[in-house]
Amino acid sequence: MFQIKHRTQEYKLTRHLTPQRSYDIFTIVGGIMCCSIFLLGDNFFLIHSNNAYGVLFFSAIGFFFPYVIWKGKNKSVVFNKRKVNKLDTLLFLPLCAVSEESIWRICIPFLFKLYFFESILLCTFISSIGFLLLHIPLGGVKSIPYMTVFTVIAVIAVQFDFLSAAAFHIVHNLTIQYFRPVSKKKINTSPPTMSQAEW
């Protein structure tokens, strides 16, 4: 009886604390720590922003970047209704995106420049490699070109301001959560709807 109860509790824990959620929580805590360092010091200007046009521009790029890649592979893009109300998508995904940008685009390059290297370009390059390596397990080696372009866009965005990079990252992640590429053959060969109730 104890063994069954123990296994049930263990199952509930593993069900709610998935690897993705564990990563998200760890990243959000790290992002909060990084932001608190800048808030306590005199470096808050690094994450301050008044550039609304930059935020809008990079938000649009965040949406069209995966969309254009999918269309370039001759895929149809369909909306994924099942993920609309998920807490992970609505809460953890945006917070994790902002946290990743504060860690990898602001905090790590700043600390590298402060303690190790003079060149901000080299510091940015090293932090970008770290970000890239962290995301390879998500899509494997074949995702390196995609993630490299993503990283370059994020680095360019953060040169405008922090919120532009964060907006790009958030919109990109929401796009790949809410939309998915589907083979056109699969759509064309799907059975026709039987009645208006199924439209």
Residue 15 belongs to a domain: no
Whether the Cβ atoms of residue 172 and residue 65 lie closer than 8 Å to each other = yes
pLDDT on residue 13: 52
Residue 22 belongs to a domain: no
Q: Return the structure tokens found at 124.
A: 């940015």
Residue 124 belongs to a domain: yes
Residue 123 belongs to a domain: yes
pLDDT along the chain (199 residues), means of 10: 50 62 80 74 56 88 92 83 66 87 87 84 90 82 88 91 91 89 65 45
Contacts of 47 (CB under 8 A, 6+ apart): 35, 38, 102, 106, 162
Nearest to 156 by CA among 53, 58, 51: 58
Task: Quote the distance between the C-alpha of residue 110 and its chain's center.
Answer: 21
pLDDT on residue 26: 80
Contacts of 138 (CB under 8 A, 6+ apart): none
Whether the Cβ atoms of residue 92 and residue 21 lie closer than 8 Å to each other = yes
For residue 56, give its domain range.
Answer: 52-185
Q: What are phi and psi of 86, to 5 degrees?
A: -75, 135
pLDDT on residue 62: 94
pLDDT on residue 136: 83
Q: Return the structure tokens found at 111.
A: 């600390």
pLDDT on residue 198: 41
Residue 101 belongs to a domain: yes
Residue 145 belongs to a domain: yes
Residues 130 and 124: their CA atoms lie apart, in Å, by: 10
Whether the Cβ atoms of residue 74 and residue 138 lie closer than 8 Å to each other = no
Whether the Cβ atoms of residue 101 and residue 153 lie closer than 8 Å to each other = no
Split into its structural domains, the chain has a count of 1
Residue 5 belongs to a domain: no
Nearest to 181 by CA among 59, 80, 82, 83: 80
pLDDT on residue 196: 45
pTM, 2 dp? 0.77
Q: What are phi and psi of 181, to 5 degrees?
A: -80, 140
Tally the residues of the chain: 199
DSSP 118-150: S-HHHHHHHHHHHHHHHHHHHH-GGGHHHHHHH
Q: Identity (one letter) of the amino acid at 180? A: R
Residue 90 belongs to a domain: yes
